[in-house]
Amino acid sequence: MMKRFFDIVCSVTGITLLSPLFLVLAVWIKKESKGPVFYKQKRVGKNGKEFQLFKFRSMRIGSDKLGLLTIGGKDPRITKPGNFIRKFKLDEFPQLINVLIGNMSIVGPRPEVAKYVNLYNEEQLKVLKVKPGITDWASIKFRNENELLARAEKPEEFYISEVMPAKLQMNLLYIEKNNLMVDLKIIWMTLKKIVHDRN
């Protein structure tokens, strides 16, 4: 109950304070390429229920048909504003809407697409017992995941065999030991990491 209250307060505050920035980004995205401002993708949430995850669109229309993973820092599918908003994780901010709706939390395991969730083993499926979040320990550790995948000979195989299991292990540990103080620490470290990477 406390977590839901925290999520509502944070999402309402965030949407209110960031609305001017959202407007500027929306105009920039529309000006630079054809398509909607938001990119919506089905992700798997709590108890295996799918939901529509919101992001600012950073790629050209139809790019996801060429692959679900973004590889490297200069993916040709990414638009000019897309490169900027991805660098500072601004594309994730519309997920505050998901938090307000109630299908996500501020902090929790990042939601995956069904394609990869179908590969989870019985132990890994336990991450679906809680709401997914905008940020988590794995998001901090794998902040530069795109560059990591770019160095792999077979990016998707590397993601499935190495990156995904490591993320899930961290998520399982979070589920076992989480409280408001842990969530605040994750939020602080996420913001700190974004600012640090900017320099």
Q: Where are the domains of the chain?
A: 2-198
- Mean pLDDT of all residues in 12-36: 93
Confidence band (pLDDT; 50, 70, 90) for 86? confident
Do the Cβ atoms of 56 and 91 come closer than 8 Å? yes
For residue 162, give Cα distances in angstroms to 141, 145, 158: 13, 12, 5
Give the pLDDT score at 68: 61
The answer on pLDDT for 49 being more than 60 is yes
The answer on pLDDT for 44 being more than 90 is yes
The answer on pLDDT for 65 being more than 80 is no
Give the pLDDT score at 71: 61
- Please work out, in degrees rounded to the nearest 5, the angle formed at the alpha carbon of residue 17 by the alpha carbons of 87 and 185: 60
For residue 147, give Cα distances in angstroms to 65, 113, 166: 21, 20, 17
The answer on pLDDT for 177 being more than 60 is yes
Tell me the C-alpha distance between 184 and 199, whole Å. Answer: 23
Give the pLDDT score at 103: 96
